[in-house]
Amino acid sequence: MEGKRTIFSGIQPSGELTLGSYLGAIKNWVELSEEYNCYYCIVDMHAITVRQNPAELRKRTLEQLAQYIACGLDPKKNTIFIQSHVSAHAELAWILNCYTMYGELSRMTQFKDKSSRNAENINAGLFTYPALMAADILLYQSDLVPVGDDQKQHVELTRDIAQRFNSVYGEVFKMPEPFIPKVGARIMSLTSPENKMSKSDKDPGGCIYLMQKPEDIMRSFKRAVTDSDRKVKYDPVSKPGVSNLMTIYSVAANKSYDEIEAEFEGKGYGDFKPAVGEAVVELLRPIREEAERLLKDKNYLVSVYKEGAERASRAATRTLRKVCKKVGFVDR
């Protein structure tokens, strides 16, 4: 671990992981495992900013852990843990709340979106969500934070908070950088390709889930929105649906856009869409099977999250102690 740069990222267990979570995030996390000291978190404390069913949250948290591992994240090489198990996150989040401005939080696009979608529950946690996210990142002195572009604003706010704190107390926090992967960064909905494929999508056909059955995956791809031009050609502006399917096919089958265009030259979407579906079925099959196997081995999953929390806690406590001292709390 010495000398390696540090990465932190997390996904909320607020819904089932999707093909977008895998291609846009977890697949890249796996590739970063060798070169970096990586912390991959299941951010259950962020998830409760929106009302959750407790039994389902618990179940999805364990499923997400099994899926992280099934996607190839090795718990020996990465610190995989559940956010609520490391109390330093809540503690630092409180402190950082006192260094985060009302105006800054009000400008966050995600807050504006989520509060308009959950008008009946605009709670303080939803508002200060970015301060908890800043705590996640800063506790581990992270260098890089792999996120989708929708989270870039939160990482930038994290930098502003770190900067503000450091300018008062000295170099306490390392300045993190957002790290936005080029390929697969934006897997779009199959039914509304102008929107990101999201686990909170209300349209079930737009989203492919990691644990979905092959026949359901095939059905969604056959119904995917395309256009009336009948040409398999990459052009995200005028052909968003087809281009999204090409991105998915390109990552799932490991082919370039040129190769895909040549493969479907003179053929229509009736050949193209099931081919993408099959590539995705084959990509997800081993992940689903491994996750199902792991979910039956509860003791193993418990040992992974306990060990993860211990490792994370050790690193997090180091930063938290420094911060407590700086702000003037008496030593414990």
Active site residues: 114, 196, 199
Counting contacts by CB under 6 A, is residue 46 touching ligand TRP?
A: yes
Counting contacts by CB under 6 A, is residue 92 touching ligand TRP?
A: no
Residue pair 189/197 in contact (Cβ under 8 Å)? The answer is yes
Judged by CB under 6 A, which of 6, 9, 67, 100 binds ligand TRP?
A: 9
Q: Give me the least distance between CB of 117 and ligand TRP, in Å please.
A: 14
d(CA 56, CA 138): 29
- Between 90 and 168, name the residue whose CB sits nearer to ligand TRP: 90
d(CA 243, CA 236): 5
Counting contacts by CB under 6 A, is residue 196 touching ligand TRP?
A: no
d(CA 135, CA 211): 31
Counting contacts by CB under 6 A, is residue 63 touching ligand TRP?
A: no
Judged by CB under 6 A, which of 6, 7, 10, 209 binds ligand TRP?
A: 10
Residue pair 90/320 in contact (Cβ under 8 Å)? The answer is no
Sign of the CA dihedral 305, 311, 315, 320?
positive
Q: Give me the least distance between CB of 110 and ligand TRP, in Å please.
A: 7
Residue pair 247/275 in contact (Cβ under 8 Å)? The answer is no
Counting contacts by CB under 6 A, is residue 80 touching ligand TRP?
A: no
Judged by CB under 6 A, which of 17, 30, 43, 66 binds ligand TRP?
A: 43
For the segment 235-274, give every residue that binds ligand TRP (CB under 6 A).
none
The CA distances from residue 330 to 139, 159, 320, in Å, are 20, 27, 13
Q: Which stretch binds ligand TRP (CB under 6 A): 4-12, 225-233, 291-299, 302-310?
A: 4-12
Q: Give me the least distance between CB of 12 and ligand TRP, in Å please.
A: 5
Burial string for 259-274 (b: 16+ CB within 10 Å, else e) reads ebeeebeeeebeebbe
